[in-house]
Amino acid sequence: MGKRSYKLREKLSNTFELPKDIVLDVSKIIIIGTGQITVENHKGIIEYSEELIRINTGSGIVALHGKNLAIKTIFQEEITITGEITNMEF
Amino acid sequence: MFIIRIWNYLRGYAIIIVKGLKIERFINLAVVNNIYIWDIEKLDYTTVKAKIGLENFGRLRDIVRKTDSSVSILNKRGFPFILRNIRRRKLFYSGLFLMCVFIYIMSSFVWMIEIVGTKDVDNESILRCLYNEGLKEGSWKGRLDRRHIENQVLIKMPELSWIGIQIKGTKAVVEVVEKSEGPPLISRTDACDIVAAKDGVITKLLVLSGDPLVKDGDSVRKGQKLVTGTILRENLEPRQIHSLAQVSARTWYEDAEEIPLQQIEFKPTGRVARQYKLKLLDKEFSRKKSVNFKDFNEYVEERHLISFGDYVFPIKLIEYRFEELVPELKTIMVDEAKERCAERLNARIKLRIPEDAVILKRDINYYTDKKSVKAKISVEVLEDIGVKQKIY
């Protein structure tokens, strides 16, 4: 997808107030407390260890730091991570 | 999420351990190939523990090959494995199932009848009456017509004024109320006399209606007419009325007691023998052990072996406990004998004196000889001795 079409769609979603995660194919991240994170629209995991999980998304790589990180569920669209999350980077 | 967990459990899943250097790739490939894996935990740098559905396990092979990892099964969980286990141990589980069915069937019978509220009527006669009407240990709860049984028992046992049968678990709780025996009530419209209920000396006669036949200070015998309801006047037809009077009279109560000074007292030696009996429905199984005590006290205790609250099952353990006693000849002091006499006499006479009577005098006389102490009690009380008697 070219930059032009991305800008067009951004305008489109702004004008019609459409949800961006659907129109723009960017990720939607839901954080519940400090114990659970759900990333929708991910593009696979890049690194996985107990302290660090890096997930590829449409809007870059999301890195989660923490302790005892585990992947609760993983689907094509959605990944849920549990554990003590201390830090999140884009 | 809970629904998904139940679904996974029903489908069956395996806990696997994946070893390899490209764990991330392994997971990504699994996801891309639509293989659902969950609860992924890193154990150490190269190993990961995860759960996978049974039907997907075979499809892992390609991914394993591509990522140079190895997969081993740690554990299998879920309903299909339980089912397989049950199939393997058919006999055990069918036995368990039969046991449940058996307990269910057993709990639809009455196995214990409890009678509550009896005072003078003995439980045995009520039980016998219930038995004749179809409520007994072992009768099926479904066919009990409680209302019918209640009515029939009330008809057959006039000494009861109310009966209620409640089924609680396997217990039938039978609540009864006995009829209290009072003097037959006489309606105020019926004519009556007043007669003496006891021998006594009249202290005060207060006639509200009727003609008195005695006066204060007269001594009367039991059954003697005190006030008549038949009014005879000159030049008038005799008429009959409902007489009313308060008859205060002094009455006497007497009783005697003798206590020998030489007494045989039985004392427990501390030796105890037990016999057990197992009662299943009506059948008894016992192991008889002979008890060779000469004198003993016997105690019986029945216990239901299986009971869950109100659900009682007909297996009883009956324990007979025998305590050996040894006779001991004992000579008691005269004072002690007197005390005991007085105690017994007072207790006995109290039962005979009506509650609303006023005690005027209480005398106990003792006669002592070498062998025993005799005592005589006489109590003088003030009470109402008037009783209505219908004129026919």
ipTM: 0.81
Is pLDDT larger for residue B368 or for residue B287?
B368
Helices B79-88 and B2-11 cross at an angle (nearest 10°) of 40
- d(C-alpha B211, C-alpha A73), whole Å: 106
Q: How many angstroms separate the CA of residue B42 from the nearest CA in chain A?
A: 6
Query: In the β-sheet with B358-368, what is the strand arrangement from edge to edge?
Result: B219-220, B200-209, B244-260, B372-384, B358-368
Reply yes or no on whether the pLDDT at B100 is more than 90.
Answer: yes
Q: Which of B82, B98, B133 is the last residue of a domain?
A: B82
Does residue B44 sit in the same domain as residue B19?
Answer: yes
Is there a domain that residue A68 lies in?
Answer: yes
- Is position B51 within any domain? yes
Report d(CA B341, CA B328) in Å as an integer: 21
Q: Is B216 contained in some domain?
A: yes
- Confidence (pLDDT) at B183: 66
B90 inside domain:
no
pLDDT in tens, B27-56: 999 988 988 899 999 988 889 999 998 888
What kind and span of H or E run contains B227? Answer: strand B225-228
**What is the residue-averaged pLDDT of chain A?**
86
- Residue A76 and residue B31: Cβ atoms within 8 Å? yes
Residues of B in contact with A74 (CB under 8 A): 27, 30-31, 37-38, 40
What is the average per-residue pLDDT within B4-12? 87
Nearest-CA distance from B7 to chain A in Å?
Answer: 14
Comparing CB atoms, the residue among A47, A70, A74 nearest residue B31 is A74
Rounded-to-integer distance, Cα B278 and Cα B189, Å: 63
Encoded amino acid at B334, one letter: V
Residue B29 identity:
L
Q: Per the structure block, which two tokens stand in for B32?
A: 């891309």
3-state secondary structure of A56: strand
Distance CA B201, CA B369 (A): 35
pLDDT at residue B57, as a whole number: 87
Our measurement of the distance from residue B331's CA atom to the centroid of its chain's CA atoms, rounded to an integer in Å, reads 43
3-class DSSP state of B68 = coil
Interface of B with A (CB under 8 A): 23-24, 27-28, 30-32, 34, 36-42, 45, 48
Is A10 part of a structural domain of the chain? no
The pLDDT tens digits for B187-214 are 778 888 888 888 889 988 888 888 888 8
Of B24, B41, B45, the CB nearest to A45: B24
Average pLDDT of every residue of chain B: 85
Statement to judge: residues B344 and B256 lie in one domain: yes
Does B257 lie in the same domain as B131?
Answer: no
Domain membership flag for residue A9: no
CA distances from B236 to B5, B7, B41, B205, B241 (A): 104, 104, 118, 26, 14
Q: Is the pLDDT of residue A37 over 90?
A: yes
Q: What does the pLDDT look like over B372-389, one tens digit per residue?
A: 888 888 899 998 888 888
The answer to whether residue B102 sits within a structural domain is no
What are the chain A neighbours of B45 within 8 Å (beta carbons)?
Answer: 49
Give per-residue pLDDT as tens, B240-290: 888 888 889 999 888 888 888 887 888 888 788 888 888 887 777 877 677
Give the mutation candidate from A36, A49, A54 for the B interface (greatest B CB count, under 10 A): A49
CA distances from B116 to B113, B151, B162, B230, B314 (A): 10, 17, 12, 47, 20
Cβ proximity of B147 and B134 under 8 Å: no
Whether B354 shows a pLDDT value over 80: the answer reads yes
Residue A49: which CATH number?
2.60.40.2000
Domain count, chain A: 1
Asked whether residue B100 is assigned to any structural domain, the reply reads no
Contact assignment for A76 to B32 by CB distance below 8 Å: yes
- CATH number for the domain spanning B171: value is 3.10.20.310
Compare CB distances from A70 to B34, B36, B40 and report the shortest one's residue.
B40
pLDDT at residue B22, rounded to an integer = 86
B267 strand-pairing partners? B326
3-state secondary structure of B78: coil
Work out the burial of residue B361: count CB atoms within 10 Å of its CB; fewer than 13 is exposed, 13-18 middle, 19 or more buried. Answer: exposed
Q: What is the pLDDT of residue B292?
A: 75
Q: Among B294, B310, B328, give the residue marking a domain's end.
A: B328
Q: Judge if B371 and B389 occupy the same domain.
A: yes
Residue A70 sits in which domain range?
Answer: 26-89
Give the best residue of A41, A43, A48 to mutate against chain B (max B CB count within 10 A). Answer: A48
CA B195 to the chain's CA centroid: 44
Which residues of chain B does A45 touch, with a Cβ-Cβ cutoff of 8 Å?
24, 27-28
Residue B116 placed within a domain: yes
Instruction: For the beta carbon of residue A46, count every other beta carbon within 10 angstroms.
Output: 15
pLDDT for B141: 83
Same-domain pairing of B256 and B268: no
CATH code assigned at B70: 3.30.70.2280
Residue of A nearest to B28 (CA): A44
| CA B246 – CA B194 distance, rounded (Å) | 10
CA geometry: angle B305, B307, B313, nearest 5 deg: 75
* Residue A26 at interface with chain B, using a CB cutoff of 8 Å: no
Nearest to B42 among A50, A73, A76 (CB): A50
Same domain, B231 and B338: yes
Higher model confidence: residue B19 or residue A11?
A: B19
pLDDT at B301: 87
pTM over 0.90: no
Strand order across the B295-304 sheet: B283-287, B262-280, B315-331, B295-304
Give yes or no for residue A1 having a pLDDT over 60. no
Query: Domain span at residue B159?
Result: 112-178
Residue B127 falls inside a structural domain = yes
pLDDT in tens, B290-309: 777 778 888 888 888 777 77
* Same domain for B284 and B165: no
Pairing of strands B112-116, B171-178: parallel
Question: Do B256 and B280 share a domain, yes or no?
Answer: no
Q: Which of A49, A69, A72 sits opposite B38 (nearest CB)?
A: A72
Kindly state whether residues B278 and B316 are assigned to the same domain.
yes
The reply to whether B375 falls in a domain is yes
CA–CA separation, A77 vs A73, rounded Å? 11
pLDDT at position B271 is: 82
Mean pLDDT throughout A25-44? 89
Residue A78 lies in a domain: yes
Cα separation, B18 vs B21, whole angstroms: 10
CB distance B110 to B167 below 8 Å: yes
d(CA B285, CA B306): 17
- Is B28–A70 a contact, with Cβ atoms under 8 angstroms apart? no
Query: At which of B291, B310, B328 does a domain end?
Result: B328
Asked if residue A58 is part of any domain, the answer here is: yes
Residue A49 near chain B (CB below 8 Å)? yes
Q: In chain A, which among 50-89 make CB contacts under 8 A with chain B?
A: 50, 69-76
pLDDT in tens, B74-93: 988 888 888 888 889 889 98
> Averaging pLDDT over each range in A33-37, B166-170, B228-232, which range is the top one?
A33-37
Identify the pLDDT of residue B242: 87
Q: Which residues, listed in sequence order, are joined to residue B40 by a DSSP beta bridge? A: A71
Indicate if the pLDDT at residue B179 is higher than 60.
Answer: yes
Mean pLDDT, to the nearest integer, of B91-111?
89
Residues B243, B276 within the same domain: no
B27 and A71: CB-CB below 8 Å?
A: yes
CB B163 within 8 A of CB B153: yes
Q: Are residues B43 and B166 in the same domain?
A: no
In a shared domain, residues B173 and B195: no
Long-range contacts of B217-223 (CB under 8 A, 24+ apart): B220/B196, B220/B249, B220/B385, B221/B196, B222/B196, B222/B197, B222/B198, B223/B195, B223/B196
- Give the total number of structural domains in chain B: 4
